[in-house]
Structure 1
Amino acid sequence: MTLSKLPDISRLAFWTVSSSKQGLGVSNLTDTNNTDTYWQSDGQQPHTVTIKFPSRHHIHTVSFFADIDKDESYTPCKIRILSGTTQYDLQLVKDVDLATEPRGWVDLPLLDDSASLMAHLVQIEFPLNYENGRDVRVRGLRLLGPPPNDHMFKSEKILPYTTPEYFMYESLR
């Protein structure tokens, strides 16, 4: 599956960070069109980004932009992704040690290629940096949803109905 076909659902959520240097906050993190700006944490590790949706959403991939050449010891080398209903019931979804030094977008599918995670809240932890750096820099972060026409009932074939009339009334408005 090509990630370019996945919709960016980042703007549907409320974002917070554990800490930030003045002028290098969450707005730089969510500005994915400009990788010259970045979020820089300020404080003790692990640094976190918490993303809250008003209702449960399908989340397929977490994608972040990092550049070891520009940021050196500020570049994360380990990422944990947790999910839950609130910050009090988070469960580990993915624990990644980056095999290569990042130079651009790093895509982390949450489940297998065809599935997506349903969540109210996603928390991304950055516990370790290259060269034992203390603070982290991330030049962009986005959440990607499943392909637009990939409904759970259709893909898993739970219900055998396939007529246009059925799909017209399959959800409440």
Structure 2
Amino acid sequence: MSTKSGGDNDPINEEYTGNVTEVGTQAVWSLSSCKPGFGVEQLRDNCMDTYWQSDGQLPHLVNIQFQRKTSVNQIYIYTDYKLDESYTPSRISIRSGTHFNDLQEIEIVDLVEPTGWVQIPIKDVRNRPIRTFMIQIAVISNHQNGRDTHMRQIRIHSPIEGRKYPLEESGKFTTLKFQQYSTIR
């Protein structure tokens, strides 16, 4: 179990490094419930002003199903306690499996008035990214005992295999002529 408060982590900057890619676009997303106009489209539209709003009993579920087994090493969730107050999740369970009937809890995260991106590292017992067909994000409780929840964005990251960044890691240049071309502008 880990405790998070949100912050300056930015998954888009992480993607620009070339070490990870956002794989949420390769998945089928579904929700346990939502108010009309506050569903998956708003959760995935890259706009921090829109959000998913659940409509029902806890736990509230976000189901992310991949067509093939996919490596996942981070989940980013954008929340804003200052705007959403009692709608803000306070405890989240991350589950993984092949389908709905074999999901195993892999992480529980307590959120303390989070504002911004909450980064949740996803690792197996050997400290490597998990390989899964399905991820479920379950909102177990909200701040101030709120009933429904707001999540503004979710991004799912997969490591890019076999690429080494920055360039220096792949080998040092030994001559002055090669060193001149070691940076891309």
Q: Which range, TM-score by smaller chain?
A: 0.7 to 0.9
Residue in structure 2 matched with residue 128 of structure 1 by the alignment? 141
What runs of 5+ residues in structure 2 fail to find an aligned partner? 1-9, 164-185
Residue in structure 2 matched with residue 139 of structure 1 by the alignment? 152
In structure 1, C-alpha distance between the alignment counterparts of 2:25 and 2:81, rounded to whole Å: 27
TM-score of the pair, normalised by structure 2: 0.76
Residue in structure 2 matched with residue 60 of structure 1 by the alignment? 73
Determine which of 84, 93, 101 is the counterpart of 1:71: 84
Aligned 1:26-105 pairs, distance under 5 A: 26-31=40-45, 33-98=46-111, 100-105=112-117
Asked whether 1:20 is paired with 2:20, we answer no
Secondary structure class of the residue paired with 2:82: helix
In structure 1, C-alpha distance between the alignment counterparts of 2:127 and 2:59, rounded to whole Å: 30
Bigger Cα displacement from structure 2, 106-115 vs 137-146: 106-115
TM-score of the pair, normalised by structure 1: 0.81
Give the percent of matched residue pairs that are identical in Structure 1 and Structure 2: 41
What runs of 5+ residues in structure 1 fail to find an aligned partner? 151-173
- Across the aligned residues of Structure 1 and Structure 2, the Cα RMSD in angstroms comes to 2.0
In structure 2, C-alpha distance between the alignment counterparts of 1:101 and 1:149, rounded to whole Å: 38
Partner deviation per Cα, 1:76-100 (whole Å, 9 max, x = no partner): 01010000001000001101112x3
Asked whether 1:106 is paired with 2:118, we answer yes
In structure 1, C-alpha distance between the alignment counterparts of 2:122 and 2:146, rounded to whole Å: 26
Residues matched between the structures, number: 148
Given that residues 7 and 148 in structure 1 are in contact (C-alpha distance below 8 angstroms), is that contact kept between their aligned partners in structure 2? Answer: no
Larger Rg, first or second structure (1 or 2): 2
